[in-house]
Structure 1
Amino acid sequence: MAQAPGDGTPFVAHRDKFHKILGPDFQRPVLIETNAHEGPVYVAREHALYFTTVPEPGPSNIAIMRLQLGGERFPFTPLSLETVRQPSNMANGMTLDRKGRLVICEQGTRTEPARISRMDLKTRALETVVDQWRGLHFNSPNDVVVKSDKTVWFTDPNYGEIQGFKPPPEIGAFVYRHDPATGETAVVADSFNKPNGLAFSPDESVLYITDTGANQAPGTYFVDLPHHIRAFDVHGQHLRNGRLFAVVSPGCPDGIKLDTKGRVYTSSASDVQVFTPQGDLLGEIMAPGVANFTFGGPKNDVLFILGDTKIWQAKVEAKGVDTARAS
């Protein structure tokens, strides 16, 4: 194990190329000690980070938060932290659309249906993007991305039922594509146990999707169930040629992002793992308890890593790809 300079945070380099990604003066200091679990989104025009809090028993516990950042250069400082929405209908994954609006996965409750919603960050007004497929309610929308053609792609595992805040599913654990222009919603993948994070390659020709089936309920891990990343070729409205990209250990891959070189970053139980476009593990940035992360900062070269009780910031020699990044 190599030791990173700065705050003493360890990293593991499996290949020499990983040192080029970290840079000569790698640091991963804590940005803030706070309740931060899912859906991190960096908004460049605000120099702010949005995220959702740790789920706990009860239908009103998850909040959407906004952290105002200070400083133009890394490391950034936390200036203020505010609650944007609570209750949030059990919000989870989030992203930005092409107009800079916050697109939110609302898992729903026993009394309020799940949906993909959209928030105007200036007015904080909410509207529904999609809340059903062929008249059937979604399970627990988990993560979402917006493609350059403005279509909305999202995953829908049944964690709400497993965790006790949703009724039994009406449909399977699918991956969807929604076209706001036509109102059409289609299942694009049905071969997952627990479809979770998803991200497009820089040219949007490949869609990567994580499967966290090994985690069937909080605190469980079934080694013979999926804890891997699958890749699909994107052909217009459809996915083709589904294949294994990488098996992740320890734990499961949850959040997933790509950089402009096509390298794949994913969370595990103990770190953020970085893979080549071919699926070879380059190295790991240790972050115990990491749930999700995102690229951000003025140059989109800082990883904001959420660890439930804190947020780390890690400067890397790479720039993230976010097809919905607003300026």
Structure 2
Amino acid sequence: MFLNSTVILFYSNMLFGVILSLSSNNWVMLWVGLEISMMSFIPLMTSNLMISSESAMKYFIIQSMSSSIFILGVVFMLMGVNINYEMIIVLSMCMKMGVAPFHSWVLSMIEGMNYMMMFNMFTVMKIVPMMVMINMNLNLNLIIMLTLIIGSVFGLNQNSIRSLLAYSSIFNMGFMIYSMKNFSLWIMYFLLYSINLFMLIKILNLNNINYLNQLIINKVELKSKLSVWILMLSSGGMPPMMGFMGKLIVIELSLNFNDWVITVIMVITSLLTMFYYNRLCFTIMSISSLITKWKINNSSWLSINIMIINLSTMPFIILLKYLN
């Protein structure tokens, strides 16, 4: 997508909608902000892909439906009806974000989007629904367990990079929803996930990689392979990468709350995601296994930066934790 005045207008409108929702002090303005960001996001989704218009229509229908359910919950709350309106609002937000069991729409529309719009959908568009869920303060353990299991198990047999990232996003949503119990940890996890996803999407976009076998068949240079390898390990949560830090702090939080079932599911599902990311890494790197991997002087600035960010973030966060 070329950066022109239209794109800048829609991007700024989308961010304005998010900021309006975050800074509003009543439910109606929060809903207005959600609608502004949604209506600005849909034109940005359209691209030269054949199914982009279909994806945009699916996105519009799902978001409209979830907004209607949200308004219904708000009306029940304002009327003082003896109904669990908090659960209605939370379920509408889950549908808006694509959390399991409302995740099917994400996978059906993801193939019609470009990588940068995927990044926006997985990060920026989830901030407001998360804030609403934090304010509701409900026990969402069942949704968290479902999200973790579906995000890890269904990602095992994917061949498309977009589907892999979508299932990875669903899996990470489980960690994000659990980390809501501590707001500062939620911000930390969200930032770590966003930075890692942005770097991975940037590399995939630069090399125009859409399917796993392209990394093997294409003549992708070793620098890019090394970068993808490090980012995949980080996304899977391999220590001492940046992605491991996020998972570690959330699992530590679950241990503090004595949620043993959630902790066990988090560890097992993390191993499954680690497996499908590692499978990809080994496939990429073993094709050029005779080449020395650590020739830093031959690497590009991008791969060096990715390596530095991934390897230095975790010690830096641990240092900050102990300084506090």
Decide: shared fold, TM above 0.5.
no
* Greater RCO structure (CA 8 Å; 6+ sep): 1
The TM-score normalised by the length of structure 1 is 0.29
Write 1 or 2 for the structure with the bigger share of strand.
Answer: 1
Larger radius of gyration: 2
TM-score (norm 2): 0.29
